[in-house]
Amino acid sequence: MPAIEPTAGTSPLVQPELSLASANTFPAFDPQKVTVVYILGGPGSGKGTQSANLVRDYGLVHLSAGDLLRQEQDTKGSEYGQLIKDHIKNGTIVPMEITVKLLENAMRSNLDSNSTGKFLIDGFPRKMDQAIFFEQSVCPSKCTIFLDCPEDVMRERLLNRGKTSGRSDDNEESIVKRFRTFLETSMPVVDHFAAENKVVRVPAVGTVESVYEGVVEGLAEKGIAPTK
Ligand code: ADP
Ligand code: C5P
Ligand code: MG
């Protein structure tokens, strides 16, 4: 069954402004009870890799927006499959209603099953509209970990990952497009949260372990400590 039920009537994709305007003015989850930490960075900066360490040490539940989209894309009967596939290959951003709904559904089912209520949301928000809509209608975030990595390092990692990932976007042509989207569309989100002093910036070059040390130090400065 698709994670997002096909909508009767107007598709949210047809009138995004309408959907934004009619968004709840209150979040679905109480930020006193639910914690949201975002992890952002360019493609190949190491978000998924560092997320595994954070899950191990901080009691966080990992939700990758890209993984949820790929799962929806491959779900039989999803009305958004082809659209998601096209955006991923082109490195462009999927309409935010889809991604926000997938995240909200995943958070809700996790909370239903007795979770810690602490979420690490990987690769989201990638565009200002996603950020505003999610913070207003789902849950305001506590902070954002930003993995800062030069393109040449990311390119090498992605091409290497592409040897085994089977991903439609781990190739030269898609990588160039993803870098452009990151710079033009996603960096403004990092800058937005940085202006609110909610960003932990971590240099993401070096070994997985040395990058993780930077993550732990940065989180400590924001008062976030490991649970074990
Ligand atoms: P992202 O989720 O940001 O796209 P990944 O965590 O999937 O990035 O990492 C991209 C690739 O680079 C993977 O093959 C991963 O094993 C590798 N990788 C991640 N961090 C490092 C690192 N610090 N040094 C070398 N390779 C890394
Ligand atoms: O994070 P990941 O590299 O797995 O994302 C793969 C693709 O999924 C992105 O290039 C983009 O097309 C789509 N995506 C999106 N919005 C997000 C996260 C991912 O449109 N917040
Ligand atoms: Mg990833």
pLDDT of residue 26: 84
Least confident of 4-18, 31-45, 136-150, 203-217: 4-18
What is the rounded CA–CA span in Å between residue 216 and residue 224? 9
Given pLDDT bands bounded at 50, 70 and 90, which one contains residue 23?
low
% of the chain exceeding 70 in pLDDT: 89
Which alpha helices (H) appear in 34-114, and where do they start and end?
A: 47-58, 65-73, 81-90, 96-112
What is the average per-residue pLDDT within 30-41? 96
Instruction: Say if residue 21's pLDDT is above 90.
Output: no
What is the rounded CA–CA span in Å between residue 129 and residue 114? 30
Q: Residue 69 CA: which ligand 2 atom is closest?
A: 8
pLDDT tens digits along 68-121 = 999 999 999 999 999 999 999 999 999 999 999 999 999 999 998 878 899 999
Beta carbons of 98 and 80 less than 8 angstroms apart: yes
Beta strands in 137-198 (DSSP E): 143-148
Please give the distance, rounded to the nearest whole angstrom, from the Cα atom of residue 195 to the centre of ligand 3. Answer: 25
pLDDT of residue 19: 43
Given pLDDT bands bounded at 50, 70 and 90, which one contains residue 5?
low
Q: Whose CA is nearest to atom 18 of ligand 1?
A: 46
What is the rounded CA–CA span in Å between residue 111 and residue 139? 13
What is the average per-residue pLDDT within 39-57? 98
pLDDT tens digits along 157-183 = 999 999 999 999 999 999 999 999 999
pLDDT of residue 208: 98
What is the rounded CA–CA span in Å between residue 41 and residue 66? 13
What is the average per-residue pLDDT within 19-34? 73
Question: Ligand 2 pocket, 99 CB below 6 A?
Answer: yes
Q: Does the pTM of the predicted model rise above 0.85? A: yes
Supply φ then ψ for residue 118, to 5 degrees.
-115, 115
Please give the distance, rounded to the nearest whole angstrom, from the Cα atom of residue 133 to the centre of ligand 1. Answer: 29
Instruction: Say if residue 135's pLDDT is above 90.
Output: yes
Question: Ligand 2 pocket, 95 CB below 6 A?
Answer: no
CB neighbour burial string for 204-225, b if at least 16 within 10 angstroms, e if fewer: beeeeeebbebbbebbeebebe
What's the mean per-residue pLDDT of the chain? Answer: 91
pLDDT of residue 192: 98
With the most atoms of ligand 1 within 8 angstroms of its CB, the residue from 69, 126, 147, 157 to mutate is 157
Q: What is the DSSP-derived secondary structure letter of residue 5?
A: P
% of the chain exceeding 90 in pLDDT: 86
What is the end-to-end Cα distance of the chain in Å, rounded? 37
Instruction: Say if residue 7's pLDDT is above 60.
Output: no
Task: Ligand 1: list residues with CB < 6 Å.
Answer: 41, 43-49, 157, 160-161, 207-208, 211
- The response to whether 47 counts as a known ligand-binding position is yes
pLDDT of residue 115: 80
Under CATH, what is the fold of the domain 29-221? Rossmann fold (3.40.50)
What is the rounded CA–CA span in Å between residue 49 and residue 52? 6
